Structure 1
Amino acid sequence: MGLKFRAVTADNGAIGGSGSQEFHVIADTGEDAIVYCPNSDYAANLEAAESVSLIAVRGAATQAITKVATPDQTNCADVAKFLNLPLEQTVKSLLFAADQEEGPAKLFMVLVRGDHELNEIKASKIPGMSESRFASEAEIKQSCNAPAGYLGPVGVSAGVTVIADRTVANMSDFVCGANVAGYHLTGVNWGRDLPEPLVMDLRNAVIGDASPDGKGVVDICRGIEVGHVFQ
């Protein structure tokens, strides 16, 4: 038949266990995205694919933190265009809430680079976030005092746990929301302007990422799942 197959690392999901592997037929019409390295046997579905930091070592701060007006810019792409900066210099701040049996919900601010997408499966593995939801407007206002489009980790309420993706943790002189409606901060640096964050792999892998096995860069294809093994 000439079909191409690939064994793919997958997330264990609710079943749990020590490992999970899917078997896919490679097809352009497949519903699943498969991250793989052409130079090795590494392959994982997008949910489970490890994303290494795109910045090996954090650079030194070269800019002063500055509050700038961004009156109608509420997403990273618009902010980058308005400030004439690379999208890769911006940080996306997402606020989640995990309801508790008693008392207010526990809040988490999750950070990914402006050109990256949050991997919700990875985010669900943050301790305390397995049953989280997006924070309500009231929770956002209470913890950040700003609309969702202007959130950022600088000066956030002490009750909010800040977790940065690996790449964000190595960024310097970055742009993020100022927690003030209509404003963003430029020249933000870890350690100087805000505490060091918790760091986790939180984003979706993209074409050209370094392969986690160190054997080149990854590509992405589509596949149709035909089998699944749990360990």
Structure 2
Amino acid sequence: MIGAVLVVVPLALALLGPLFVSDVGRGAPFVSNSVLGTDFVGRDVWQQVLLGGQTVVFVALVATVLSYAVGVPWGVVAAMSRVVDDVLMRPLDLLLAVPSLLVLILAAAIAGPGLPVLIGIVTLVNFPDVARISRGAALEIAARPALEAMRLQDETWWRTSVLYTGRAMLRTVAADAGVRLTGALYLVASASFLGVGVPPDAADWAVMVDRNRVGLFLQPWAVVVPALLIVSLSVGLNLTFDRALRKEAV
């Protein structure tokens, strides 16, 4: 239940929050004349919290789904065919050797700003790890006697590689999904913090942390609340996935 609460609260604010904001006004910066006061340009912090979660959540979810959509087939094909294994996996080693934040900054500098660019960058950073994990799981499954028997019976590639292998590695992929989604949240928040992908004055939880830290001691809620929401979503997702996997194991 703790994990569910930690996930539901920031998700509800991110998805439903904009419905409760009709007019965004401005006043004096860093004053406490409302629920959470005002930010560095005089905007209501509570309104910014309600408006600021969609980018972080949407980009992280879409990028994670795309990472698995590309990475899982990539890893399975590499594991099932020794001919293309090195061809598919060696370029990913180069990507894994470069720090993720450096890839994010360089790709953003080349491609320019925008949410589609940010989604593509986070997908690019995450999918090599997904491919390697999928390949490792598929290699173990490929050595099982059941799969050897299916090959001897001349079963189709679809039945051996997709139906049997995909179903057998589902638990491993599900266990990795929580960590991968948390990593995507971290990258999206870091990108927003660095001003990559979203405007520097956007209503975004990570941007709020960056832009309001200069007034942390004047108006701490403008930094603490969005930071806590990001942390809550990350921790809650991991707890929820761990709980689901334990129940499946029982």
Q: TM-score, normalised by structure 1?
A: 0.24
Structure with higher Rg: it is 2
Q: 1 or 2, which has the higher strand percentage?
A: 1
